[in-house]
Amino acid sequence: MTNGPRTEHPVELSTWNVQEYEIEDGDGDKAVILFRPLTHGWRTRHLEISLNLQRAAEAAGALKGDSGGDEEAQPSSEQLEILLKAQSDAESSISQFRKHLFGDLVVGCRNLTINGNEPSREELVEAILMLEDLAEGLSNHILRLGQVSEDEGKD
């Protein structure tokens, strides 16, 4: 059984709501990472992460404020422990958020190889996560495209 004659027209990605993120290496070679846009659920998860990070920053600021404005005052070991835990939790939250975000939204790539081979989707996600600059750039790009504008939702 065949699906009919093959056409010479490629499938248009925009009809599947897939977007592109272009990357370039040091030699000027370009590749594209393909991803689906944010959903409302992902917007909510990002807001939750942002609020948790803001609370951790406020807690750290409050601990610094406990020194009474004395620049020479050293934080206690308990305060340092709290600050380090807050920082570790924040980094872990961001890392887990990106891992799930890319695992859910990244669908493939074009003109990109890993050790000379085209990567599977899982290999691509792992590679993105290992390359911190790429992970940060891609997540910022996806999140920026998914922001609700001031006019959106106003009727």
- CA dist list (Å): 37 to 21, 135, 145: 11, 16, 7
Q: What is the pLDDT of residue 2?
A: 46
- C-alpha–C-alpha distance, residues 121 and 53, integer Å: 29
In terms of pTM, does the model score above 0.85? no
Burial class (CB in 10 A: 0-12, 13-18, 19+), 53: middle
pLDDT of residue 110: 95
User: What is the pLDDT at residue 1?
Assistant: 40
* 153, 126 Cβ separation under 8 angstroms: no
Nearest 5°: the CA angle 3, 8, 13 is: 85
Q: Are 75 and 63 in contact (CB under 8 A)?
A: yes
pLDDT of residue 83: 79
Instruction: Check residue 152 and report its DSSP letter.
Output: T
- Per-residue pLDDT 10s for the chain (155 aa) are 444 455 566 666 555 689 999 999 989 999 999 999 988 899 899 998 888 888 878 877 776 666 555 556 677 788 788 778 888 888 888 899 999 999 999 999 999 999 999 999 999 999 999 999 999 999 999 999 877 665 555 54
pLDDT at 153: 53
- List, in sequence order, every residue forming a beta bridge with 24; answer none if it has no partner: 30
Of 111, 136, 108, 132, which is closest to residue 122 (Cα–Cα)? 108
